[in-house]
């Protein structure tokens, strides 16, 4: 797959190289033609990049992870760079702390947090989380 993509990316450059070898550069009046060829080649390369990016996104959606075993239940921003994320993996929910350089597992929920569909999980999630963490801290002492 990578070789095919590399060959497709190199195609415009090989065509331009072959064309420049076969034609001797014109001494007079050829600047406008060369500029037009350069612009057309550049537009083709940029178009090819966008096409390949679109195809890569389509292939990722059709991949084996379409069953979505891992789901993000809710997120809560703590600061511009730090956040809490509640992730469901199978039947288990895990609270993760995300910082720019690290991901820490903070807590594994003993009973899953259920959020109604279509409702934002911002304030209810934080309240429910504090209740669950408070219950677990009392149970441990």
The per-residue pLDDT for range 111-128, each reduced to its tens digit, is 777 776 655 545 566 667
pLDDT reported for residue 50: 95
Per-residue pLDDT, averaged over 81-87, amounts to 90
The predicted model scores a pTM of 0.40
**Nearest residue to 42 via CA among 13, 3, 5, 8:** 13
**Residue with the larger pLDDT of the pair 7 and 78:** 78
Per-residue pLDDT, averaged over 35-49, amounts to 95
Highest-pLDDT range among 25-29, 110-114, 133-137: 110-114
93, 109 Cβ separation under 8 angstroms: yes
Rg (CA), the chain: 27
**Residue with the larger pLDDT of the pair 24 and 56:** 56
**Residue with the larger pLDDT of the pair 80 and 15:** 80
> What gap in Å lies between CA 44 and CA 67, rounded to an integer?
36
């Amino acid at each position: 797959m990578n070789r095919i993509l590399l060959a497709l990316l190199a195609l415009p450059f090989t065509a331009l190289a072959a064309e420049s070898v076969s034609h001797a550069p014109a001494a007079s009046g050829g600047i406008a033609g060369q500029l037009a060829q350069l612009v057309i080649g550049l537009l083709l390369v940029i178009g090819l990049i966008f096409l390949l990016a679109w195809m890569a996104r389509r292939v990722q959606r059709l991949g084996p992870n379409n069953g979505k075993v891992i789901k993000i239940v809710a997120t809560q921003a703590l600061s511009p760079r730090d956040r809490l994320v509640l992730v469901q993996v199978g039947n288990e929910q895990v609270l993760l702390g995300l910082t720019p350089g690290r991901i820490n597992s903070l807590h594994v929920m003993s009973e899953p947090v259920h959020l109604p569909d279509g409702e934002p999980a911002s304030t209810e999630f934080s309240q429910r989380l504090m209740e669950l963490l408070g219950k677990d801290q009392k149970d441990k002492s």
